[in-house]
Each structure stands twice: as structure tokens, then as C-alpha cells.
Amino acid sequence: MKTSLLLLFVYLLSLGGTGQDEVMAFKQLQNYLPVHIDGYTAGEPGGQSISIEGLTFSSADIEFTNTDGDFIKISLLDYAGASTLYQTAAATWQAGVTYESDDITFNQVTWNEHISGWEQYHKTERKSIIALGIANRFFLTIEASNQDNLDLVISIAENMDLDKLALK
């Protein structure tokens, strides 16, 4: 995933765009990640900060696993220094896209004036994903395997202090 983020960053840099505010260091972002999820064991948090030609972003991530081999992956990105990246990530839900097939359900969600994004459930894979943009700056993704619905990923996001993050 880190290589993909770097390649996306370099591509979007070629499209133009300017940085905004100072980006939160990835170690600071890690403080917003959950450290415990019932029934799962936390791995070591990871992260990175990238700066190219005046555009910067940082990310923090953590993976939880259980004894059945199920996982929860959580990624939090700060795009304060790379508004073009954030706008690209946000384009899907800002366009109001909804989609349903035999395999996938995809819906736009709005939690409040500072937090919106999408929910995605892969029926055949039993994988749930929530992706939320926070204050036009941060981007949170939570993915969980072996799920019957979106309840777990929504609950994890609700238990994170996203409103505090929106004030940064």
C-alpha cells in the first residue's frame, strides 16, 4: 500500500496543485488510531511522511487480527499539504455515487458538516469498508474481513475521536 500511495502522490503532483497547512507528523497521527478492539490483537502501528516539490502528506496505519485469521485494517492520512490528493480521494463521495450489485453495496454517507465519505460492503468476500473524509484534510479508511454487515467498521469509526481531529 505504501508504494501505491507514493505512486499516486507522484502522479497527482504532475497534475499540479499546491500545499496548504503544515502536515501532522505520522507519529502524531498514530495517536488517533485505536489501540484496542475487542476480540482482536493489535499489530505495531506504522506510518510515513512524504514531501515532494512542496506537497506533503503523512499516513498512519494499524492492523488488528484475531485467532480465526480475520483482520481489521485502519489507515489515517493527513492531506493538509496536498489538497489535490484529498480532492481526488473525496471525489467519489462528493459526486453522490451509490451502487449496488449482487456482490457490492456502495453508499455515500454524511455524519456531520465535517465528516462524510462512503460505506462499501462486498457480499461475496464478506468484507466491509468505511472511508471518511474529515474536515477537508484527513482521510480515514477502515476495512474488516469476514463481516456480515458494516456494523463493526462503523462502530470503530464512531469510537475514534474524529471530531477532535476535525479541529486540527
Say which residues have a Cβ less than 8 Å from residue 125's Cβ, sequence separation at least 6: 103, 145
Say which residues have a Cβ less than 8 Å from residue 46's Cβ, sequence separation at least 6: 60, 61, 62
Domain interval for residue 27: 2-166
- How far CA 49 is from CA of 24, 80, 82, 88, 159, in Å, comes to 9, 12, 12, 19, 25
* Mean pLDDT, range 23-40, rounded to an integer: 95
Cα maximum dimension of the chain: 46
Residue 3 pLDDT: 42
Whether residue 9 is predicted with pLDDT greater than 80 in this model: the reply is no
pLDDT tens-place string over residues 89-121: 677 677 777 889 999 999 999 999 999 999 999
pTM: 0.83
Residue 21 pLDDT: 63
How many domains is the chain partitioned into structurally? 1
Residue 81 pLDDT: 65
The percentage of the chain sitting over the pLDDT mark of 90, rounded to a whole number, equals: 61
Whether residue 77 is predicted with pLDDT greater than 80 in this model: the reply is yes
- CATH number of residue 8's parent domain: 3.40.1000
